[in-house]
């Protein structure tokens, strides 16, 4: 007995992933369960005799998840270890599921991301405007109040990636004026969300893309990447200007606080009172643990080991928030030592290498954006990070 319209059902299940991810972990988990069921049904009905096609770099993500599994062998907190495996299951889910013969879901990824993030940001703007005008609450335009339940850094990552694909992979069928309007929406939202990392890294990636047009032999490879991207230079320039202006007008105070980091760098006893100085204190503690444990403390004991250092050094800001290392390489180092750092580097580096080798400018910019965020956030430790990133990288990776 054949499942009716299984291909259409699977397509819409994939398109539901990003809206579910914006809603939260439970919705995302349930949606991915249906995606897996429909994918398996489609494979059994139509593609069972076809060879599996693994994506380039997928093996490194599988190996990194394997490290999460065996990291429980030297973890004291087994509950944290089990929770970590559940959250990071996307590390094996997407490489395996997308290796299974079946429909390509790259178009579904971009459709899901582009339209759902645009709808979400439009709703957040309407809500902030209503609160400002009707309830006299202008603070709803700023930072966490604007982003709602989605962490501002991840919202910034989603918006920046959606902009990278706008006009090339999604939104190209709508009138040109719509694309300009969506560009302004995404750029304004980055400024309103107030994530320093999201704003700075979006600007860095856009400037990198514009640099592809500079003359010189050193940019021959970059021009090849540029030719694979949509030729919308003026729209990219508009995005650059709007992000800069809106960030300065709405979120300038978020950048002023970065000055407090200088004291933490020069004086170990300086008070930690902001997210920037907090990150520096956390990085310092994480590096100390990596130096003491070359093979890590185990998957489940990362935060507990850091908490001991926070309490020893009196870093109340980090202790009250139970901060993780806020750097994916340091996260891997604290958990698994230098083997974890090497494996994570290979996983990211393989995507970087193959996107350059195949002259896939969009994938190259996406992995650049992810690696920049991974320098200031443990982006693979929460579902809104690991599910989004693995899905995005695997649909763009070439087949082996």
Alpha helices in the chain (DSSP H): 6-15, 17-23, 25-42, 58-70, 78-87, 90-99, 106-134, 143-147, 152-165, 176-193, 196-211, 220-227, 233-256, 261-266, 275-292, 302-313, 316-321, 328-357, 361-374, 383-396
Predicted confidence at residue 268, as pLDDT, reads: 56
pTM for the predicted model, two decimal places: 0.93
pLDDT, position 273: 57
Q: What is the pLDDT of residue 217?
A: 46
DSSP string, 96-145: HHHHSSS---HHHHHHHHHHHHHHHHHHHHHHHHHHHHHS--GGGGSHHH
Query: In the numeric block, which tokens belong to residue 12?
Result: 């819409």
**Residue 147: both structure tokens together:** 């982003």
Residue among 100, 96, 90, 92 at smallest CA distance from 42: 100
User: Residue 265's pLDDT is what?
Assistant: 53
Instruction: Give the model's pLDDT for residue 229.
Output: 85
Residue 341 to residue 336: CA distance in whole angstroms? 8
DSSP letter for each residue of 266-307:
H-TTS---SHHHHHHHHHHHHHHHHHH-TT-S-TT-HHHHHH
Q: What is the pLDDT of residue 255?
A: 77
What pLDDT score was predicted for residue 251? 84
Other Cβ atoms within 10 Å of 382 Cβ, number? 17
Query: Residue 23: which of 130, 122, 117, 162 has the closest Cα?
Result: 117
pLDDT at site 1: 46
Please report the pLDDT score of residue 216 as a whole number: 60
Instruction: Give 55's strand partners.
Output: 399
Residues of the chain with pLDDT under 50: 1, 3, 217
Mark residue 326 as left, alpha or beta (left: phi above 0; alpha: psi -120 to 50; beta: remaining): left
């Amino acid at each position: 007995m054949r499942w009716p319209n299984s291909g259409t059902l699977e397509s819409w299940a994939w398109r539901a992933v990003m809206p579910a991810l914006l809603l939260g972990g439970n919705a995302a988990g349930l949606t991915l369960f249906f995606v897996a069921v429909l994918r398996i049904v489609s494979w059994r009905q139509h593609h069972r005799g076809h060879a599996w096609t693994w994506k380039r770099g997928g093996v490194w993500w599988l190996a990194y998840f394997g490290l999460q599994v065996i990291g429980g062998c030297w973890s004291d907190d087994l509950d944290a270890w089990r929770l970590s495996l559940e959250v990071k299951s996307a590390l094996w889910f997407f490489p395996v599921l997308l290796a299974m013969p079946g429909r390509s879901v790259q178009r579904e990824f971009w459709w899901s991301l582009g339209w759902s993030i645009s709808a979400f940001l439009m709703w957040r703007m309407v809500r902030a405007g209503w609160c400002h005008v009707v309830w006299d609450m202008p603070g709803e335009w700023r930072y966490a109040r604007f982003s709602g339940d989605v962490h501002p850094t991840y919202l910034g990552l989603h918006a920046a990636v959606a902009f990278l694909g706008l006009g090339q992979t999604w939104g190209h069928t709508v009138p040109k004026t719509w694309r300009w309007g969506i560009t302004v929406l995404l750029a304004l939202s980055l400024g309103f969300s107030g994530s320093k990392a999201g704003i700075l890294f979006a600007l860095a990636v856009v400037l990198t893309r514009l640099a592809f047009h500079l003359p010189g032999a050193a940019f021959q490879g970059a021009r090849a990447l540029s030719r694979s991207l949509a030729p919308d230079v003026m729209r990219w320039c508009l995005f650059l200007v709007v992000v800069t202006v809106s960030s300065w007008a709405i979120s300038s105070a978020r950048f002023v606080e970065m000055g407090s980091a200088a004291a933490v760098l020069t004086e170990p006893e300086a008070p930690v009172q902001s997210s920037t100085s907090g990150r520096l204190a956390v990085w310092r503690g994480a590096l100390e643990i990596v130096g003491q444990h070359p093979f890590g403390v185990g998957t489940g004991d990362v935060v507990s080991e850091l908490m001991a250092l926070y309490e020893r050094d009196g870093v109340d800001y980090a202790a009250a928030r139970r901060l993780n290392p806020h750097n994916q390489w340091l996260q891997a180092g604290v958990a698994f030592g230098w083997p974890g750092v090497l494996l994570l580097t290979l996983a990211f580096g393989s995507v970087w290498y193959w996107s350059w080798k195949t002259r896939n400018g969009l994938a190259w910019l996406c992995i650049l954006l992810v690696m920049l965020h991974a320098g200031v956030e443990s982006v693979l430790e929460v579902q809104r990070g690991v599910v989004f990133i693995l899905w995005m990288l695997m649909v763009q990776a070439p087949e082996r």
